[in-house]
Chains A and B, each alone.
Chain A
């Protein structure tokens, strides 16, 4: 049992790459991703698990990384926004956001894209209600959500 009060070593896989993180066990996964791995695509919007700007996929499930103590990421497989595209090839959700105006200021976009990707992986043809529910944990202040819904709908069609 690891009883060290300060730094722990935590190994996990991030965007397909094995990583060893050194952090206090209660540091937020959000901060460790941003500061140690320099994956700054994941954002802090609220620090309370309300806005979803910090969303990452942890062991196949979407979570708010501002609420995950890094100790609980031990052995986990994590995907951040940086892991969504395949090299230069954008994911169809990202392409759709570009074409249909899903991003305005862009700060909610990483979390929103991940939530949409996660939704479509679980439910390839969601209804309007399912889209609204699937994205309800990601707040956007710029778009009024309309073009985000449109982007998701179009992304479904493009497969």
Chain B
């Protein structure tokens, strides 16, 4: 068991009160697993990813624990996490490709980064060149400034940098977003390749794009308004989802080959609830066509089939199909 997250709750301190985008989240990621974490903007997926490695000052751990390779991560202790960052857990934050300093060459940037983690660059530089070659970039990239590279090249360089010390867990936050389809594919395949070669043991790939996850992820976890809605292997989530939210989300995605004059897709009416004062029961109940009185209580995130967990009364109680009662 590579990563074990138990009952994790993380809040942001705000003037209006605590906003709790990660609320009692429990899951595991196995060795060699690429877990896709999907959800819409504001559902807490990035906060969840960040909390595993980098708790900023305005973030507060409300409860729960995180165990990586049998070692509990001191996630709430910013300084105690420092030696674990990049060596055990690594993060490619959102928009990371724009985070490369424009005034330093890639090689200098790499050196600085490694030294700040107490690693001598000459022991790793050959490996970095090898990995660059592996994904089709020449060693000349090292002598360039970030603005001389295209967006796709920068994104791949940031992934190489963050996995250079072979961390156990890589958190990749929207690494394929804002890229062209061909570059998206290259980055997605790079993640799989790095996992296959053991550069990282497991990956949490955070994205709003389910179709990318269908390509690269082994399992998909769907998050809604701070809670996990469904987790199963990627094929099951895409082909036989059980949570009404997953079902409706998938039904709203146009695929190549679909036209408006044959099939009219529909979105999900309504908006997610506020995370400052969320409803006490199921968070999706307000938009769910199947909601019943019982949904005023929060459904547990239960295993309904081997490896398939769902937080929905309709699924765990086996309600028949039908409208609102």
Partners in one complex: no
Instruction: Identify the A interface with B (CB < 8 A).
Output: none
